[in-house]
Chains A and B, each alone.
Chain A
Amino acid sequence: MPFEQIKFYQTGTFTVGNRLLDISDRAVQSDTKRSNALNSGHRACRGCGEALGARYAVDAAMRAANKNLIAVNATGCLEVFSTPYPETSWQVAWMHSLFGNASAVAAGVAAAMKAKGRKEVRVIAQGGDGGTADIGMGCLSGMFERNDDVLYICYDNEAYMNTGVQRSGTTPAAARTATTPSVGPEPGNTFGQGKSLPLIAMAHHIPYVATASVANLHDLEYKVEKATVIHGARYIHVHVPCPLGWGSEPHDTIKVARAAVESGLFPLFEAEFGDVTAHTPIRRPQPVEDYLKLQKRFAHLFRPVRDEIRLAAIQSIADRNIQRFGLLEEVTR
Chain B
Amino acid sequence: MEKPFAITLDVGSSLANHTGSWRTERPVYVDRLPPCNHACPAGENIQGWLYYAESGDYLRAWKSLVENNPLPAIMGRVCYHPCETGCNRAQLDQPVNIHAVERFLGDEAIRRGWQFTPGTPTGKRVLVVGSGPSGLSAAYQLARFGHQVIIYEAGPAAGGMMRFGIPKYRLPREVLDAEIARITDMGVSIHLNTHVDDLARVMQEEKFDAVFLAVGAHVAKRAYIPAGDAAKILDALAVLRSVEAGEPPLLGRRVLVYGGGNTALDVARTAKRLGATETLIVYRRNREKMPAHDSEVQEALEEGIQFKWLSTIKKATDTTFTVEKMRLDEKGFPQPTGEFETIEGDSLVLALGQDVDLSFLERVDGLEIVDGVVKVSARMMTGHAGVFAGGDMVPAERTVTVAVGHGKKAARNIDAYLRSDVYNGPTKHELAAFDKLNTWYYSDAPLTVQPLLDAARRESTFDEVVKGLDENNALFEARRCLSCGNCFECDNCYGVCPDNAVLKLGAGKRFEFNYDYCKGCGMCAAECPCGAIEMVPETI
Contact = CB atoms under 8 A, between A and B. Distances in A.
- Note whether A and B contact each other (Cβ less than 8 A): yes
Given A10-B54, A47-B522, A39 B500 contact: yes
A10 to B, nearest CB: 4
A48 to B, nearest CB: 5
Interface string B485-504: 00011111011111111001
Nearest to B530: A11
Contacts of B527: 254
A303 to B, nearest CB: 25
Contacts of B519: 46-47
B517 interface: yes
B182 interface: no
A85 B495 contact: no
Interface in A253-278: 253-255, 258
Contact of A44 (B16, B488, B494, B498): B498
Given A27-B491, A251-B522, A42 B499 contact: yes
A323 to B, nearest CB: 24
A29 B491 contact: yes
Contact of A40 (B442, B491, B514, B525): B514
Contact of B500 (A10, A40, A243): A40
A16 B491 contact: yes
A216 B13 CA distance: 30
Nearest to A53: B498
Contacts of B499: 40-42, 44, 51
A55 B12 contact: no
A41 B496 contact: no
Nearest to A91: B11
A324 interface: no
Contacts of B22: 46
Contacts of A85: 6, 9
B16 A41 contact: yes
Contacts of A252: 526
Interface string A1-45: 000001011111011111110000011011010001011111110
Contacts of B480: 10
B441 interface: yes
A9 B9 contact: no
B492 A16 contact: yes
A147 B529 CA distance: 42
B446 to A, nearest CB: 10
B445 interface: yes
Given A10-B443, A40-B500, A91-B12, A27 B495 contact: yes
Given A6-B444, A10-B488, 8 more contacts: A11-B490, A19-B490, A32-B506, A46-B519, A47-B522, A55-B498, A88-B10, A254-B523
A182 interface: no
B91 interface: no
A284 B17 CA distance: 40
B469 interface: no
B435 to A, nearest CB: 14
A192 interface: no
Q: Name which of B475, B492, B497 has the most chain A CB atoms within 10 A of its CB.
A: B492
A101 interface: no
Contact of A251 (B481, B500, B521): B521
Interface in B1-60: 6, 9-19, 22, 54-55
| Most-contacted residue by chain B among A9, A19, A243 (CB, 10 A) | A19
Interface residues of A, number: 53
A83 B520 CA distance: 22
B521 A47 contact: yes
Contacts of B16: 41, 86-87
Contacts of A89: 14
Which of the listed residues A217, A243, A253 has the most CB atoms from chain B within 10 Å of its own CB?
A: A253
Interface in B453-479: 472, 475-476, 479
Contacts of A86: 6, 9, 13, 16
A52 B496 contact: yes
B440 interface: yes
Interface string A79-123: 000110111111100000000000000000000000000000000
A255 B16 CA distance: 31
Contacts of B15: 39-41
A9 B497 CA distance: 23
**Chain A contact residues: helix, strand, loop or mixed:** loop
A38 B500 contact: yes
Contact of B495 (A10, A17, A39, A284): A17
B507 interface: yes
20 contacts: A10-B488, A11-B529, A15-B492, A17-B492, A29-B491, A30-B494, A36-B500, A39-B15, A40-B501, A40-B516, A41-B18, A42-B499, A48-B498, A49-B498, A52-B497, A82-B14, A87-B16, A91-B11, A251-B523, A251-B526
Nearest to A90: B11
A36 B489 CA distance: 19
B9 A30 contact: no
Given A8-B475, A89-B14, A251-B523, A17 B490 contact: yes
Q: Which of A36, A41, A49, A252 has the most CB of B within 10 A?
A: A41
A254 B443 contact: no
Given A10-B480, A250-B523, A16 B13 contact: no
Closest 10 A/B residue pairs (Cβ): A17-B491, A251-B522, A16-B495, A41-B14, A89-B14, A12-B443, A29-B495, A47-B521, A40-B517, A46-B521
A39 B14 contact: yes
B185 to A, nearest CB: 34
Given A27-B491, A40-B19, A41-B17, A55 B526 contact: no
Nearest to A41: B14
Contact of B490 (A15, A44, A46): A15
B19 A41 contact: yes
A253 B523 contact: yes
A14 B495 contact: no
A29 B500 CA distance: 10
A83 B11 CA distance: 10
A29 B502 CA distance: 12
A23 to B, nearest CB: 10
Given A15-B492, A16-B495, A88 B13 contact: yes
A11 B522 contact: no
Contacts of B517: 40-41
A254 B498 contact: no
A221 to B, nearest CB: 10
Given A15-B441, A16-B496, A10 B481 contact: yes
B522 A250 contact: yes
A29 B443 contact: no
A25 to B, nearest CB: 12
A52 B491 CA distance: 15
B491 A26 contact: yes
A32 B476 CA distance: 28
Nearest to B507: A19
B443 A6 contact: yes
B494 A9 contact: no
Contacts of A253: 498, 521, 523
